[in-house]
Amino acid sequence: MAADHRRLGRELDIFDSDPLIGAGLPFWLPAGAAARHEVESYIHDLERRAGYQHVHSPVLGRRELYERSGHWAHFSGDMFPPLHLGGDDALVLRPSLCPHHALIFKSRHRSYRELPLRVAEIGAMFRAERSGVLGGLARVRAISLNDGHVFCAADQAGEEVAEALRLMVRSHAALGVRVSSYRLSLRGDGGKYAGDDDAWDQAGRVLRGALDAAGVPYSVAAGEAAFYGPKIDVQVVDPAGRESTLSTVQVDFHQPARFDLSYADAAGGRSRPVMVHRSLVGSFERLFAHLIEVHAGALPPWYAPVQLVVLPVAAEQDAAAAAFARDAIAAGLRVEVRHDGSVGARIRDAAGRRIPYVAVIGAREAPRGEVALRLRDGRRLPARSGVEAIALIARMVSDRALELLPPG
């Protein structure tokens, strides 16, 4: 049976839910929060090195904001009803971060010299999913999105899309996610799309150009575009063979016009920027639903919730175990010491929790400052010094290796 992230998520203390909180509103338990924090830090750092500036924006906005962006006309069926506070004002739980980021761009005078201006945020957004389709982390009503928007000149959009695709490939590799296919999602029939034909054609050309430059094969899907522009969907497959989308990149001429965005161009006039929307890993809920399943709960060491469990064989080794754990924590590792029960039971418990490394310290190891490492896949390593053991694990973690040991 393929791994089910809902069962594993509960077993591994990653997340759970309570009917009193509500359907589609899971909470993250300490193990899940530790893993998520590590992945968020990685994405934050990857984006910062790629020239992004991070911002924070509120999860609510006035209804007028979404009327302006077009969400109200094209997307209100997926939004929660407005909150009325008296008077004419109504607030809406946001269905996307784009309008806030557009207004962050607009909040300062912008020059062509600042472009491409790359803004990113891990922010909450909301979707009024029907309760029948909700399950675990895969479909939720409160979404934490790895979002970003690049404001650039029209002739810079192609390179920005290509760079977003490269960052996606890099982050997927680090997380142990395999891309199954690329999909170019275009408009379909019907009136649910905003903007004029020229803008759609131009945006489609930019996306095709980036896919061709990346040299990746792709399929074309009509009717899967966002309402404001076409997009590239990066598809992944879960162990049951179901395809889903984590990462997307979109080219948008519509919202910059709706919000009347402009910058001072090189010729001394005002020009309208293009908005490239991109999410490298999608929402953290859907990402972790996928990660838990593709790794069958055995997350790679760098973002495993607990990376190392220390087991003193008997009370005589408690002091040695405590000293070793202190050194491992000081080296940046997430560590637990377990005392209760037989060594065999404690090793089985650690394996059941998919903890990558177990360090056993017995009467032979303690006086020499050594530990005997066991890996979660059952492999046992010869005793080695505590210093060497910590260096080995710390290296696998800092390399963001998907394996437990270096090759060879």
What residue ranges bind Zn ion (CB under 5 A)? 98, 277
* 349 Cβ contact list (under 8 Å, min separation 6): 338, 341
CB atoms within 10 A of CB 222: 11
CB 292 within 8 A of CB 354: no
Least distance to Zn ion, CB of residue 281, Å: 15
Least distance between Zn ion and beta carbon 226 (Å): 8
* Min dist. Cβ of residue 315 to Zn ion (A): 57
Q: CA Rg, the chain, in Å?
A: 24
What are the distances in angstroms from CA 380 to CA 296, 309, 375, 390?
21, 14, 6, 16
Among 298, 288, 240, 294, residue whose Cα is nearest residue 2: 240
Backbone angles phi, psi at 41, to 5 degrees: -60, -40
Q: How far is the CB of 148 from Zn ion (least distance, A)?
A: 8
For Zn ion, the closer of residues 6 and 277 by Cβ is 277
For Zn ion, the closer of residues 277 and 384 by Cβ is 277
Which one, 277 or 353, has the nearer CB to Zn ion? 277
CB of 16 to Zn ion, least distance (A): 30
Which residue number, 61 or 356, has a Cβ lying nearer to Zn ion?
61
80 residue type, one letter: F
CB of 28 to Zn ion, least distance (A): 24
Indicate the residue among 172 and 277 with the shorter CB distance to Zn ion: 277
147 vs 365 by CB, closer to Zn ion: 147
Residues whose CB is less than 8 angstroms from the CB of residue 100 and which lie 6 or more positions away in sequence, other chains included? 57, 58, 61, 94, 123
Enter the tokens of residue 90.
Answer: 């109504």
Query: Which is nearer to Zn ion, 98 or 294 (by Cβ)?
Result: 98
- Cα–chain-centroid distance for residue 291? 10
Within its chain, how far is the Cα of 398 from the centroid? 19
Residues 307, 308, 311: CA angle, nearest 5 degrees: 160
How far apart are CB 307 and Zn ion at their closest, in Å?
35
- Please, what is the minimum distance in Å from the beta carbon of residue 185 to Zn ion? 14
Shorter beta-carbon distance to Zn ion: residue 53 or 398: 53
Report the Cα–Cα distance between both ends of the chain, in Å, rounded. 32
What angle in degrees, to the nearest 10, is found between the helix axes of 157-175 and 197-214? 50
